[in-house]
Structure 1
Amino acid sequence: MTIAESPSPALGSSQPTTWWHGAATPDELGRWSAVAQEVADALAADVVERDRANALPVAPVQLLRDAGLANLLVPVELGGHGAHWETAFTVARIIARVDASVAQILGYSWLNQACAIFYGTDAEVTRDVLRRSASLRAVWADSFNPVSPDLSLVFDTDRYLLNGRKAFATGAAVADVIVAGAVAEGGARDGQFLVLALDAHRGGIAHLGDWDNIGYRASASGGVEYTDVLVTDADVIGVDTEEPFSSVVTPGVQLLFGNIYLGIAEGALAQAAELTRARPNSWFLSGVDRYADDPITHRVFGELVSRTTAVEALADRLGRQYDEVVALGHATTADDRAAIELAVARLKVVATEVGLDVAGRVFELTGASSTKSATGLDLHWRNIRTHSLHDPVDYKRIEVGAHFLRGTVQPVSLYT
């Protein structure tokens, strides 16, 4: 499968100022929040079993397609639903309350699909990419992992060949499209950093299936290896020209993380509340009949719920702010980009801290019986403990503090 059908983009060709407009309405948020809840309810039926099996999430990904979520952000005129990023982050958060792995795959799908816009240099190519993606209900993944060695893209006679290995590629093994990037060596594209959209199962692409971590076990986050993968002009969806707009995708990734961590905290609290209400008897020194009536239980829930609600308020505000920034399109300035980067970094700090604390401390409320494997309460903590190591949160603290004191902004990267 080739996701782009028009001629490949050329530097300096026509691209509209913006692809995204306006803000989510209450009706939009309500409609897709309800869809997300239906998906979450369906995932809840076997989330513990799927986690134990460490199996590829084939059925959950199909559920996302069938619910219309693969096309959530594609413009209506191109066959999608035309929703906003605020809505998308809310959807991911709702699903993360039950299954952070699947929420991650979905969020990455939107962000990788959006690479056709962020990096696109030709409007017709971008339209064709999005139109075809919508018609296929395609789920997208990527192998951009910057801590792995760069991929090699070398011209050979009349085409390019892609080689290399990326250690992590979340969702790639169950996706339809995988985004990759490399600096072209030789040929007409020599020296350009090309952004590619490839059939995830094209010849020469091997999904290594080597993901076996304590959390995010249903995220299909194993490595991917490219061996002489044929790349043609039709696979090129954009060129990284290092303009501020293209790099706005990275704060979007970090904002996704913050919403998923928040969703994990909300899910842990909801499950803990259910277990606590059903918990018989009480601690013998408490003076009450049931654990749900114990003032200590109320105090701990009160603390955890209050802190989680504060993170929710910040995440909601940033969802709308992100829509405002991406609506600037190619008019985005370095200052615009820095402002959203720093705002999202602040969310990342508190969402990580609160998510880890909540997912761990709910056991104080639910007791020893909740540590049974069948209960699955540990899934929330294992997921956030695993994913929160994606990039060190201490560097987010440094980023925020350095700007607060000295006005400095970190260099643009795939982590900042």
Structure 2
Amino acid sequence: MSTTAIDTDTLPRTPWNGHADERELEHWASVARTVAQALAVDALARDAANQDPFSEVGLLRDSGLLNLLVPAESGGAGGHWESAFAAVRIIAAADGSIAQLLAYHYANQSSIAFYADPATQGDWFARSAAAGWLWGDSVNPVDPDLSLTAVDEGYRLNGLKRFSTGSSVGDVIVVNAAVSGGTNDGKVLAFVLERTREGLELLGDWDHLGQRLSASGSVRYHDVLVTSEDVLGEITPDPIVTLLTPGLQLAFGNFYLGIAEGALAAGRKILLERKNSWFLSAAGSYAQDPIFQRTIGELKARTAAVGALAEKLNRRFDTEVGRAGALDAAQRGDVAVAIAELKVVATEVALEVANRIYEVTGASSTGNDVGLDLFWRNVRTHSLHDPVDYKKIEVGQYFLHGTNAPLSLYT
């Protein structure tokens, strides 16, 4: 279809356009570094305590990061996705759990732009910005569907959702469910509930190997009332609406990259502090030994390559989201595959770095008080979110046949 045939007045809108300039990028990188430094001080102790991260959310809120993507006219910072992804990467180097919270917050908060009518988006963003909401979610697609039944006063929600990231600390929770009955029968709606809504039960059952402070426990809904004011909008297969999923996958790639960079930085510090050298080595110290230099050099080079790809795609995402309703299925499919490529290499490199960093840090670095294992536990846990082998298949199908995977909340 030619551009002249598009009636832009009828297309869905998004509030983002253009790209971040150097001043914006450096500002948010500096903010993220400050937050990361604060989180790094006691990351291991907080991980061991496994408490809901309310104080960490307060740190994100006070820094302004929660409102980075909120349009300036709605009281936010008016920033770009490139800045948001970079902030996730920086914080992941210090605390993967809190980086996950922030990444999901950006995706969940941006549901306003992807699902809500343009006429209501400004009010939603303004309310979020004014109250400093952290947005959690309850949309895990592998769980049985929730029951959303039409009633006179709106809808009644029942059921259980596991892996609801940010739910136990989020000011609001985004929920997706298909309607039964009424005028919207069969439609899938996105709606927003405050964490304290009557009938919403937080089970607090998140106790996993890694990402322990991601507040990802299960939520049970007992006849929860959902009114029309809670509804963002219908989830449709429109390219711009479904672009939200590749955006979240891009956040994953950045967050895995950040974990790899954090493991490298921690390993470098330990290596430089090691005394003497292996008894068979002619080098004066472990850090001067070519064997250890080769290993850490290999890991650093591979991480740098993933970083370059992430930065390219972070900037490209602003281009694609800026197309809004003019984004077509081919454009959406192409960027989704490009992001899948990042997901593949970011996953594999982060796991490799977090594992092999021990080869240069030695047996003493396996002590529980060192905390080097936190990087591996975090990336190992979250990288199982959706099988990376299916991302490889997406890339291969597109490269060979030009076909995309069916639309879902994973593709």
TM tier relative to shorter chain: over 0.9
* Identity over aligned pairs, percent: 54
CA distance in 1, matches of 2:344, 2:234: 32
Q: 2:93 aligns to what? A: 97
What SS does the corresponding residue of 2:239 show, helix, strand or coil? coil
- The normalised TM-score by structure 1 is 0.95
* Amino acid paired to 1:414: L
What SS does the corresponding residue of 1:237 show, helix, strand or coil? strand
Q: 2:13 aligns to what? A: 17
Among candidates 110, 113, 118, match of residue 109 of structure 2 = 113
1:264 is the counterpart of 2:266: no
Give the 5 Å matches for 1:164-175: 164-175=159-170
Q: 2:3 aligns to what? A: none
CA distance in 1, matches of 2:33, 2:217: 28
Q: 2:39 aligns to what? A: 43
Q: 2:124 aligns to what? A: 129
Aligned-pair CA distance for 1:16: 5.4
* Amino acid paired to 1:126: Q
CA distance in 2, matches of 1:118, 1:312: 27
Q: 1:154 aligns to what? A: 149
Alpha carbons 1:14, 1:123 under 8 Å: kept:
no
Among candidates 24, 27, 30, match of residue 28 of structure 1 = 24
Alpha carbons 1:142, 1:180 under 8 Å: kept:
yes
Aligned-pair CA distance for 1:193: 1.5
Deviation string for 1:82-130 (max 9, x for gaps)?
110011000000000010110010111111111111112x222111100
Q: 1:275 aligns to what? A: 270
Aligned-pair CA distance for 1:14: 6.7
Alpha carbons 1:160, 1:230 under 8 Å: kept:
yes
1:208 is the counterpart of 2:181: no
Q: 1:352 aligns to what? A: 347
Question: Whose relative contact order is higher, 1 or 2, with alpha carbons under 8 Å and at least 6 apart?
Answer: 1
Aligned-pair CA distance for 1:18: 3.5
Q: 1:226 aligns to what? A: 221
CA distance in 2, matches of 1:182, 1:371: 45
* Amino acid paired to 1:274: K
Alpha carbons 2:246, 2:339 under 8 Å: kept:
yes
Aligned-pair CA distance for 1:35: 0.4
What SS does the corresponding residue of 1:301 show, helix, strand or coil? helix
Gaps of 5+ in 1: 1-12
CA distance in 2, matches of 1:397, 1:255: 15
* Amino acid paired to 1:179: V
1:61 is the counterpart of 2:57: yes
Gaps of 5+ in 2: 1-8
* Amino acid paired to 1:183: A
CA distance in 1, matches of 2:12, 2:291: 57
What SS does the corresponding residue of 1:180 show, helix, strand or coil? strand
What SS does the corresponding residue of 1:20 show, helix, strand or coil? coil
Deviation string for 1:221-266 (max 9, x for gaps)?
1111111111000001111122111000000110011001000000
Alpha carbons 1:325, 1:332 under 8 Å: kept:
yes
Deviation string for 1:283-310 (max 9, x for gaps)?
0111012111111111011100000000
Q: 2:69 aligns to what? A: 73
Among candidates 173, 177, 193, match of residue 178 of structure 1 = 173
Alpha carbons 1:15, 1:123 under 8 Å: kept:
no
CA distance in 1, matches of 2:258, 2:106: 18
Q: 1:292 aligns to what? A: 287
Aligned-pair CA distance for 1:157: 2.9
CA distance in 1, matches of 2:89, 2:186: 39
* Amino acid paired to 2:103: G
What SS does the corresponding residue of 1:81 show, helix, strand or coil? coil
